[in-house]
Amino acid sequence: MNRSLFRIPVLSVVLLGLQILLGQSFVRAAEEKAAWQAEWEKTIKAAEKEGQVVIYSTDGLDLVLREAVQRKYPKIKVTTVIGRGFELGQRIMSERRGGKNIQDLFVMGSTTPVRVLYGAKTLDPIQPGFILPEVTDQSKWWQGKHHYVDPEGQYVFMFEGTARSGDITYNTSLVNPEEIKSYWDLLNPKWKGKIVALDPLTAGPASNSERFFYYNPELGPEFVRRLFSETDMTIVRNDDQLLDWLAVGKFALGLFARNVDTAEKQGLPVRQFLPGHFKEGASVGAYNGTLSFFNSAPHPNAAKVVINWLLSREGQSTWLDYNFKARSDYDSTREDIPKDKVSPRGRRVPGGKYFMTEKPEWMDMKPIYELIKRALAEGKKQ
């Protein structure tokens, strides 16, 4: 019997089966594409009908949201309310108690949305508002997942993942960075009385570094206690004053300073230790980059448009571009966008030793503050 007579029909059946499977895959892909596109178009139309979105944010970041979104969606008026995190938190709670649910989105650091807004149950889960595939695809994000700061992992989305080495700045004329390769080296008697720090008991710039010190197993509460009790550090409340004193050599080291990049470009003799400089690694946190969606939002569709734009490749690239122009050094948790404009002082690099400080169970600063208070009091007695 000639077996080749049977081979052609079998091969034809196999090819036909492959065609059917491929055809079904194409159909499913087209249906999925049509589904999200239809939802997106419907959302944009509804947002344009609402005509406005109200965003509570910080000075500077509001420009990205107001100008870029307004340009992209001219029929949606972007109104921003700006201020510091704790100030906006108090304002929002006061407005809500007065029955004024006028807020749509909150774009800020991590402390206020978790400690105030989430705690007061003013937020809705944000993930249901994700529409664009590039936003929902978690493989595009750091560690292959979306990062949230709240305990339930639903309400406070973290789109910033900036690396830092404890926010430690030094005077280049007074400090040889090779002398300080471990955070424990800050306790060297050589630096006693030569360290200035922004108020460690005020929520804001210091919080991320303090969580890093406190929860890092190579440092821990004992390091925090000794740092604030043994170094005779000077505490200030103004970032400009800290950098001025550091620049003129009144102090050799500064903790928790901001705007260091600007000071460097002005020619001042200050530098910040780069992530990876210390053997205990660097933190990864959100200094100014979390996104939350209010419940009872008056413009829910416009809010969804902003959510998807901000978290898209275009939105995150625009945010990084703004940071570059503003001489900031934040990094995005999106991994599929160019990071050439991210300062080395904040950029994550492959293989780096990083310690995520925005874990929900660590957001309560009370035990850290209590330890620092005791340590400062102990230092005054010495």
- 55 within a domain of the structure (yes/no): yes
Does residue 226 sit in the same domain as residue 373?
yes
Per residue in 115-167, pLDDT tens?
899 999 999 999 999 999 999 999 999 999 999 999 999 999 999 999 999 99
Q: Is residue 285 over pLDDT 70? A: yes
Are residues 157 and 55 both part of a single domain?
yes
φ/ψ (deg, to 5) at 157: -80, 135
Asked whether the beta carbons of 258 and 69 are under 8 A apart, the reply is: no
DSSP one-letter code for 127: G
Q: For residues 210 and 74, state if they share a domain.
A: no
Query: Do 81 and 56 touch, CB atoms closer than 8 A?
Result: yes
Residue 358 lies in a domain: no
Looking up residue 79, the CATH number of its domain turns out to be 3.40.190.10
From 38, 77, 84, select the one nearest 58 (Cα to Cα).
84
Strands (E), 229-278: 234-236, 253-255, 270-272
**3 state DSSP class of 251:** coil
Shared domain check, 144 and 174: no
Domain that holds residue 71: 36-162+286-349
For residues 223 and 268, membership in a common domain is answered with yes
Q: Which region among 27-31, 117-121, 230-234 has the lowest average model confidence (pLDDT)?
A: 27-31
Beta strands in the chain (DSSP E): 52-57, 77-82, 105-108, 123-124, 157-158, 162-164, 168-171, 195-198, 234-236, 253-255, 270-272, 282-285, 290-294, 354-356
pLDDT for 321 beyond 50: yes
- Count CB atoms within 10 A of the CB of residue 190: 12
Rounded Cα–Cα distance for residues 286 and 377 (Å): 30
Clarify whether residues 70 and 157 are in a common domain: yes
Confidence at residue 4, expressed as pLDDT on a 0 to 100 scale:
45
Q: Which residues of 70-101 are buried (b: 16+ CB within 10 A; e: fewer)?
A: eeebeebbbebbbbbbeebbeebeeebeeeee
323/373 same-domain check: no
Residue 97 in domain: yes
Q: Does the pLDDT value for residue 18 go beyond 80?
A: no
Handedness of CA 67, 146, 333, 199 (dihedral sign): positive
Do 79 and 202 fall within a single domain?
Answer: no
Q: By CB neighbour count within 10 A (0-12 exposed, 13-18 middle, 19+ buried), where does 238 fall?
A: exposed
In this structure, is residue 181 part of a structural domain? yes
In percent, how much of the chain has pLDDT > 90? 73
Mark whether 223 and 183 lie in a shared domain. yes
- The total domain count for the chain is 2
Q: Are 152 and 172 part of one and the same domain?
A: no
Whether residue 299 lies inside any domain: the answer is: yes
Work out the burial of residue 276: count CB atoms within 10 Å of its CB; fewer than 13 is exposed, 13-18 middle, 19 or more buried: middle
Is 9 a domain residue?
A: no
Reference 258, options 275, 273, 245, 240; nearest CA is 240
